[in-house]
Structures are given as structure tokens and as C-alpha cells.
């Protein structure tokens, strides 16, 4: 199957899943009582899972509060938008990484018990527990005998061996079977991986794709791209590619650098920082840029809060994940910014991007193909513009924030009856 056939098939299955969710909700909305929700997330950092929970928590009409297992900018974001946040911190538990749930974690057992109890205590005051990350799932679901509340798990990951260790996969398998009442996946790729792991019915894992607020993007004036670049400290008068997202080996920033080395006069801006301890990788990117002789054409911008401006300042947006991306918010954001997006064709990405229609798909991990795609779009500005226009239409139709919030609410209410 060609990539475009593949993405068409995925688009069709996406439509089917959305209908399934809607069909499941028979009660007219006027009679639905919105439950109160305790949202739990392990991270204080701002990653895609947190950005997808943020508007949901903000817009939730019934009582809702957030419990975070780490402190960081996510807390201030929530609080500044009127969401009450609690923290329950444990240094040992915070250090457990998704691939590293090994025997060593026995030493963290007292911390785990404390966290389980803390979550259960907070959950007592709410109708539903909404677990947004892997660690939140484990700690929240282990406490079910204490809190006895319905549990919704928002699955943001592909539960494959590449992404997760044996123990984590085993725990997910048992907890979803015995403690979780409802699961919502961020893509068909994530949903399928969970079905494969747990043998559950595919209907038990409805899919709601992330959405973005297109208004945030349209409010940035990008008519004068020179002024925009000057404001952001970016080079003017050059062809500029942008790669947005945290610096991590599987996000593939090194692939973009290798592609850059094949294109003598293209510049690249990397927006994002190492959020989850990937400092060594971030440093290796600087060394790689120097080794490849492209350091003067690579601009490390660090983590930025104003993504619409950064995205609108570039000519083309790259997505370079080397492992299957569960969804890829940066892709729909790039589309909302009205820029052509070249993306690595794996995982949830092919549910978003239709090759040559609303974006450009390339095989993951192949710098030569990535460079070829960039050169193709660079040489054909009309094609690039047509793709970007279609992308914006598709985001408004399929990946709007309002659509996301409505579907999430329906799926969540369906779980609690
Ligand atoms: N992001 C940001 N500033 C940065 C880099 C990334 O606000 O400097 C945001 C980006 O806009 C997106 C999210 O971080 O909403 C990354 O989400 P994605 O789903 O693409 O990837 P994840 O890191 O969650 O796997
Ligand atoms: C996770 C995934 C990312 C997805 C995000 C929001 O962080 O890695 O692909 O876009 O969740 O669902």
C-alpha cells in the first residue's frame, strides 16, 4: 500500500471511530450530568500530553482539580487559567523512567505507596479519576481499592516494546483489565497497540484526536515574515526549516541535522528543549552540527511559549521522529500555522497527513529522503502553498479544539454513565 493509500484508509477509519464515539452516547446532552473530575498527570513539564489535558481541565464545566506528581511550568499554566492544582511529590518515584521500571524500583516502594494513598485521598471528593500519563495510571489504578472511583485513562502512547519496558507493559495490561473503567486513545495507532497488548475489544478503546485552537495561530501576523524573523532573532532572506518539540533521541533532531548537511544553503531552527532528562542528547546535537559543518546554519531556540509565531516564521516544518509517533501535536499546529509540514510516516502521523494533499510523508529515519522532500517543496512554492492551504482546512475540519473538547466530554461522560 502506498503512503497515500495508507493515509486515506486511516482517514476513513478515523471517521468511523468518531461516529462510534458519538453513537455510543444516546443520552441527549441536556440530561447528561457532567461528573466532577480529578485530573492526574505525572509531569510538571509542558509536553504534548499536558497540552492536550490543559484545555480540557480549563473548560470542564463541573468541579475539577488537577493533581500533579511533579512541579513545573504546567502547574503555573493551569493556575493562571483558574484551575486549582495540588502537588504530591516523591523524588524516588519521579526518577522512575518509562523504560526503566526494573528491580531497582523496589527501593522506591514506600514512595509508591505514599503516592497511591495521596491520589486516592484526593480522588475521594470527585466522581471520576482522569489519569493522563503512564505513571498516573499505575499509581491511580493501584489505589482503586481505596478510592473506588471510576477511572478514565487517556492513552497518549504507543505501547510497543520500542517505547516501554516489560514491567510497564505488564502493569498496563493488568491494570487496564482490572482497574480502568474507560480508555480514550489519542490515535488509532496508540489504540491498536493497546488492543494488541491487552487483547481487549477495539471498541473498548475509542479514539479522540488532539485539537488545536486555530485562532491562536491566525492572530499572529506573518504577512511580513522579515519583521517576524527579526523579532525572533532568526535569519532573514534564507530558506528556513523548523523542527518543533522536545529534544529527545526518538524525536530525531539528529536526522534533520544530517539532512541539512546535504543542502548547502538551507537553515534550520530547532525549537524545544530536553524536558525529560535528555540533556546528553541535546549536547550531542551541538557536537553533531559542528562535525557536519552546519553549526552556522542551525539555530537552537530552546523552549518557547509562542509556538504560532515561531511556526509562522519558517518556510517548512519538519517532523522527524524515528519511532512511531503516537499522535504528534506539532504536526497539527504546523498545519494550523499554514505552513507545509513534512512528517515521518509512522504511528498516528498517517492519521493526520495525506501525502501531497495536506502535507508530505517521508520514511522515518532517512536524512536523504528528508532532504529530497525539503528541496522538492522549496523548488515548488505553489505546490507547498496548496498543501499548506489544504492543511489549514483539514485542521479546522478534523482537528479543532472545540471538536476535541466535545468528543472528549462525550467519551468521558459515556464512561461514567
Ligand atoms: N512545545 C512548546 N514549546 C517548545 C516546544 C514544544 O510549546 O519549545 C509544545 C508544542 O507546541 C506541542 C507540544 O509541546 O504542543 C509537543 O507535543 P507533541 O505531541 O508534538 O510531542 P510530545 O513531546 O508530547 O511527544
Ligand atoms: C504524547 C505523544 C504525542 C502526542 C501527545 C498528545 O506526548 O508522544 O505524539 O501528540 O501525547 O496526545
295 CA distance to ligand 2 centroid (A)? 29
d(CA 203, CA 17): 9
Q: For residue 141, what pLDDT is reported?
A: 97
- Reading the block at residue 72, the C-alpha cell is 513545573
Residues 253 and 332 in one domain: yes
| Residue 24 belongs to some domain of the structure | no
Cα 253 → chain centroid: 17
Q: For residue 101, what pLDDT is reported?
A: 52
Q: Give the mutation target among 156, 191, 322, 325 for probing the ligand 2 site: most ligand atoms within 8 A of CB.
A: 156
> Would you say 183 and 153 are in contact if contact means Cβ atoms under 8 Å apart?
yes
CATH assignment of the domain containing 47: 3.40.50.11010
Residues 312 and 405 in one domain: no
Ligand 1, closest atom to CA 51? 15
Q: For residue 93, what pLDDT is reported?
A: 73
Q: Which residues does 66 contact at the CB level (< 8 Å), separation at least 6?
A: 38, 39, 40, 41, 53, 57, 78, 83, 84, 85, 86
Phi, psi of 340 (to 5 degrees): -70, 135
d(CA 296, CA 63): 51
| Residue 178 belongs to some domain of the structure | yes
Locus of grid cell 503512503: 3
Residue nearest to atom 3 of ligand 1 (CA): 304
| Residue 7 belongs to some domain of the structure | no
> Would you say 355 and 312 are in contact if contact means Cβ atoms under 8 Å apart?
no
Residues 103 and 205 in one domain: yes
| Residue 180 belongs to some domain of the structure | yes
Residue nearest to atom 5 of ligand 2 (CA): 48
Residues 129 and 179 in one domain: yes
Residue 300: which H helix or E strand, with range?
strand 298-302
- Ligand in closest contact with the CA of 352: 2
| Residue 280 belongs to some domain of the structure | yes
Q: For residue 97, what pLDDT is reported?
A: 63
- Mean pLDDT per 10-residue interval, the chain, length 417 residues: 36 34 40 90 96 98 97 98 94 64 67 94 97 97 97 97 91 96 98 97 97 95 88 95 97 98 97 90 98 98 96 98 98 98 98 98 98 98 98 98 98 90
Residue 246's closest CA among 303, 162, 312?
Answer: 303
| Residue 23 belongs to some domain of the structure | no
CATH assignment of the domain containing 237: 3.40.50.2000
Residue 40, number of CB atoms within 10 A of its CB: 27
Residue 115's closest CA among 137, 99, 83?
Answer: 137
Residues 237 and 320 in one domain: yes
Cα 341 → chain centroid: 16
Q: Give the mutation target among 43, 45, 47 for probing the ligand 1 site: most ligand atoms within 8 A of CB.
A: 47
Residues 274 and 382 in one domain: yes
| Residue 87 belongs to some domain of the structure | yes
d(CA 327, CA 311): 18
Q: For residue 6, what pLDDT is reported?
A: 33
Residues 174 and 301 in one domain: no
Q: For residue 190, what pLDDT is reported?
A: 98
Residue nearest to atom 21 of ligand 1 (CA): 48
Ligand 2, closest atom to CA 154? 12
Ligand 2, closest atom to CA 210? 12
| Residue 270 belongs to some domain of the structure | yes
Residue 405 belongs to domain spanning = 30-211+400-415
Residues 207 and 320 in one domain: no
Instruction: Tell me if residue 252 falls in helix, strand or coil.
Output: coil
Locus of grid cell 507547498: 384
Q: Decide: 54 in ligand 1 pocket, CB within 6 A.
A: no
Question: Ligand 2: residues whose CB is within 6 Å?
Answer: 47-49, 52, 156, 186, 210, 325-329
Residues 180 and 281 in one domain: no
Q: For residue 32, what pLDDT is reported?
A: 72
User: Count of domains in the chain?
Assistant: 2
Q: Which residues does 372 contact at the CB level (< 8 Å), separation at least 6?
A: none
Helices within 34-157 (DSSP H only): 48-59, 73-80, 91-95, 109-123, 134-142, 144-147
- Ligand in closest contact with the CA of 272: 1
Ligand 1, closest atom to CA 327? 19
Provide the whole-model pTM: 0.91
Residues 241 and 344 in one domain: yes
Ligand 2, closest atom to CA 348? 9
- Ligand in closest contact with the CA of 158: 2
d(CA 94, CA 84): 22
Count H helices, E strands: the chain? 19, 12
Q: Give the mutation target among 329, 330, 333 for probing the ligand 2 site: most ligand atoms within 8 A of CB.
A: 329
Residues 248 and 332 in one domain: yes
The C-alpha angle 397, 400, 406, rounded to 5 degrees, equals 110
Residues 253 and 350 in one domain: yes
d(CA 27, CA 174): 31
Q: Decide: 246 in ligand 1 pocket, CB within 6 A.
A: yes
d(CA 357, CA 384): 10
Q: How far is CA 144 from CA 20, 58, 87, 368, in A?
A: 28, 25, 19, 50
244 CA distance to ligand 1 centroid (A)? 7
Amino acid at each position: 500500500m502506498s503512503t497515500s493509500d495508507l493515509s486515506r484508509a486511516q482517514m476513513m477509519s478515523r471517521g468511523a471511530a468518531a461516529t462510534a464515539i458519538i453513537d455510543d452516547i444516546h443520552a441527549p446532552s441536556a440530561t447528561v450530568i457532567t461528573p466532577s473530575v480529578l485530573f492526574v498527570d505525572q509531569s510538571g513539564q509542558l509536553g504534548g500530553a499536558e497540552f492536550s489535558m490543559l484545555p480540557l481541565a480549563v473548560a470542564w464545566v463541573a468541579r475539577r482539580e488537577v493533581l500533579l506528581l511533579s512541579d513545573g511550568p504546567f502547574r503555573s499554566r493551569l493556575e493562571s487559567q483558574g484551575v486549582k492544582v495540588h502537588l504530591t511529590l516523591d523524588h524516588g518515584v519521579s526518577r522512575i523512567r518509562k523504560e526503566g521500571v526494573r528491580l531497582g524500583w523496589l527501593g522506591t516502594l514506600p514512595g509508591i505507596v505514599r503516592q497511591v494513598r495521596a491520589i486516592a485521598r484526593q480522588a475521594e471528593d470527585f466522581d471520576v479519576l482522569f489519569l493522563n500519563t503512564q505513571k498516573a495510571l499505575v499509581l491511580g489504578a493501584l489505589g482503586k481499592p481505596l478510592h473506588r472511583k471510576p477511572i478514565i485513562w487517556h492513552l497518549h502512547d504507543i505501547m510497543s516494546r520500542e517505547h516501554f519496558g516489560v514491567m510497564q507493559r505488564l502493569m498496563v495490561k493488568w491494570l487496564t483489565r482490572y482497574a480502568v473503567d474507560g480508555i480514550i486513545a489519542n490515535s488509532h495507532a496508540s489504540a491498536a497497540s493497546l488492543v494488541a497488548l491487552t487483547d481487549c475489544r477495539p471498541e473498548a478503546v475509542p479514539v479522540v484526536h488532539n485539537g488545536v485552537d486555530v485562532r491562536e495561530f491566525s492572530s499572529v501576523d506573518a504577512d511580513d515574515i522579515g519583521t517576524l524573523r527579526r523579532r525572533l532573532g532568526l535569519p532573514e532572506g534564507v530558506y528556513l526549516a523548523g523542527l518543533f518539540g522536545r529534544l529527545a533521541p526518538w524525536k530525531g533532531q539528529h536526522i534533520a541535522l544530517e539532512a541539512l548537511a546535504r543542502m548547502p544553503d538551507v537553515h534550520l531552527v530547532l525549537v524545544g528543549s530536553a524536558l525529560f532528562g535528555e540533556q546528553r542528547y541535546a549536547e550531542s546535537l551541538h557536537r553533531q552540527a559542528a562535525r557536519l559543518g552546519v553549526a552556522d546554519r542551525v539555530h537552537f531556540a530552546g523552549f518557547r511559549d509562542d509556538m504560532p509565531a515561531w511556526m509562522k516564521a519558517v518556510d517548512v516544518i519538519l517532523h522527524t521522529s524515528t519511532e512511531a509517533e503516537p499522535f504528534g501535536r506539532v504536526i497539527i499546529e504546523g498545519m494550523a500555522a499554514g505552513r507545509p509540514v513534512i512528517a515521518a510516516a509512522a504511528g498516528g502521523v498517517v492519521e493526520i497527513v495525506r501525502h501531497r494533499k495536506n502535507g508530505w510523508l517521508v520514511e522515518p529515519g532517512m536524512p536523504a529522503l528528508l532532504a529530497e522532500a525539503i528541496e522538492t517543496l522549496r523548488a515548488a512554492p505553489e505546490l507547498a502553498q496548496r498543501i499548506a492551504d489544504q492543511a489549514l482546512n483539514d485542521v479546522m475540519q478534523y482537528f479543532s479544539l472545540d471538536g476535541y473538547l466535545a468528543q472528549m466530554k462525550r467519551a468521558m461522560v459515556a464512561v461514567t454513565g
